[in-house]
Amino acid sequence: MPSAPRVSVCIPAYRAPRFLPEAVRSVLSQTCDDLEIVVVDDASGDGTLESIAGIDDPRLRRWSNPENLGGAGNWNRAVGLSRGRYIKILCSDDLLHPDCLEAQVRILEDPAWDRVGVVCCWREVVDASGKRIMVRKPWGLRGHVPGRHALRRIVRSGTNPLGEPAAVLFRRELLDQSGPFDGSNPFVLDIDMWSRMLLHSDLYMVPRALCGFRVSAGSWSVQLARRQSESYRAWIAGLGRDPRTGLSPLDLAMGRWKSRAWNWARILFYRVFVS
């Protein structure tokens, strides 16, 4: 078996034949080429895996689940099949800019940032055709941020300021410390994991858009929008009961209030921009 790559980009796919080839090609176009792509189709039955049959590259590895595992199950399977030192989850309709991995790996391999285990970046929001709608720049998170400070910012924001999986690269060893993706609350699947990792490491936010988060009628985020606020409030309540987080009643109250505000803003945004 060939030596393990530096980076694994895991693409858990479900009913994604339209956008999956573009997602894969965005990874193959990276300036950092010491990588593998792990695509796992979650028993879609609609030609999802067949949509990338014409892409011939030894860095691309493909699997198909015999039965549907659901979001968290498929994310965990994809990560379990990966071999890289650093891991990124890329949803099957999102995109990486060509220098995304190079810029994020540079931080993780810099001795000055040896406490950093999670590297994030600004991200573009794009429509179904790939046209940029806006750039999301999280307030209060830039450069090196201690883990618990970042966690407090997350809770107080009432949303997911670290970004969707495409924006995040993390060290493999954090999975051993944090455990697998937790499917008990699918509405916070990604931010729950990033937050658990920040109990064991620090954050670095690259102040530049390095990926594209696609919003379309079939996007998981769009389908979940109406229930995200309620689930977020339940999630931060659980964090508040964990003494390791150091969260105060004020932190939790701000998170509850802002989650409601973000919910209305999110629904309005999808009504205007998603078709």
> What total of structural domains would you count in the chain?
1
Give the closest residue to 85 by CA, choosing from 25, 34, 12.
Answer: 34
Per the domain annotation, does 79 fall within a domain?
yes
Burial 201-216 (b: 16+ CB within 10 A, else e): bbbbbbeebbbbbbbb
The tally of CA atoms less than 13 A away on the side-chain side of residue 51 is: 23
Per the domain annotation, does 92 fall within a domain?
yes
Per the domain annotation, does 42 fall within a domain?
yes
Q: Give pLDDT tens digits for 90-132.
A: 999 999 999 999 999 999 999 999 999 999 999 999 988 888 9
Per the domain annotation, does 118 fall within a domain?
yes
| Mean model confidence pLDDT for the chain | 92
Residue 133: domain span: 7-273
CA–CA gap between residue 155 and residue 152 (Å, rounded): 5
CA–CA gap between residue 116 and residue 173 (Å, rounded): 12
How many residues belong to the chain? 275
**What angle, rounded to 10 degrees, do the helices at 70-81 and 189-197 form?**
50
Per the domain annotation, does 50 fall within a domain?
yes
Task: Report the CATH number at residue 194.
Answer: 3.90.550.10
Per the domain annotation, does 1 fall within a domain?
no
The pLDDT value given to residue 192 = 96
Per the domain annotation, does 2 fall within a domain?
no
Q: Give me Rg for the CA atoms of the chain.
A: 18
The pLDDT value given to residue 222 = 45
Per the domain annotation, does 206 fall within a domain?
yes
Residue 1 CB coordination number (10 Å): 4
